[in-house]
Amino acid sequence: MTVAQEVEAANAQYAASFTKGNLALPPQRKVAIVACMDARLDTARALGLEEGDAHVIRNAGGRVTDALRSIVISQQLLGTREIIIVHHTDCGMLTFTDEVIRGKVRAELGQNVDHIAFLPFGDLKQSVLDDIKILKESPLVLDVPVTGYVYEVETGKIVKVE
């Protein structure tokens, strides 16, 4: 059984009691979240988001450089006016370097991925500060409130980085 089949069964239950079919396309709380793809982080539950509230952009590390296309669409076409960044403790991005993963892809898949910046980091807090700075300085991003957090996978808490 694939996870897809399990997901179909779970979705049938969700849809059976679904009552939110009239929500508007633009996020009601006018915010875009940029968070890591990590399995332990449930952005909706951990941040108190309901369906319709917020754009949720997620990638390996929650890196903003890899979220720029989505942020521009979010702000220019769908009216979001705040950004929240969430990185987290015990992140996989702390465990490798571009050199390591490029070597692994070359060995496992026979492919050269020297053209991909995988965006790992060595310092968690600094990775949040770096991403805030990138957004603040990008000419493609509006001058909106940007707040960065470290989510603690051990405690469920977010800790503001400043």
Contact positions with a second copy (CB under 8 A) in 102-161: 104-105, 108-111, 113, 116-119, 139-140, 142, 145, 147, 153-158, 160
Q: How far is the CB of 126 from a second copy (least distance, A)?
A: 20
Task: To the nearest 10°, report the CA torsion of 142, 148, 153, 158.
Answer: -120
Contact positions with a second copy (CB under 8 A) in 9-38: 9-15, 18, 20-21, 23, 25-32, 37-38
Is residue 76 at the binding interface for a second copy, with CB under 8 A as the rule? Answer: yes
DSSP string, 65-115: GGGHHHHHHHHHHH----EEEEEETT-GGGS--HHHHHHHHHHHH----TT
Is residue 98 at the binding interface for a second copy, with CB under 8 A as the rule? Answer: no
Contact positions with a second copy (CB under 8 A) in 39-58: 39-58
Q: Total residues at the site for a second copy (CB under 8 A)?
A: 91
The nearer residue to a second copy, 13 or 122, going by C-beta atoms, is 13
Q: How far is the CB of 136 from a second copy (least distance, A)?
A: 15
Q: How far is the CB of 58 from a second copy (least distance, A)?
A: 4
Rounded Cα distance between 52 and 20, Å, is 9
Is residue 162 at the binding interface for a second copy, with CB under 8 A as the rule? Answer: no
| 114 within 8 A of 101, measured Cβ to Cβ | no
Is residue 7 at the binding interface for a second copy, with CB under 8 A as the rule? Answer: yes
DSSP string, 106-158: HHHH----TT------S-HHHHHHHHHHHHHH-TTS-S--EEEEEE-TTT--E
Is residue 70 at the binding interface for a second copy, with CB under 8 A as the rule? Answer: yes
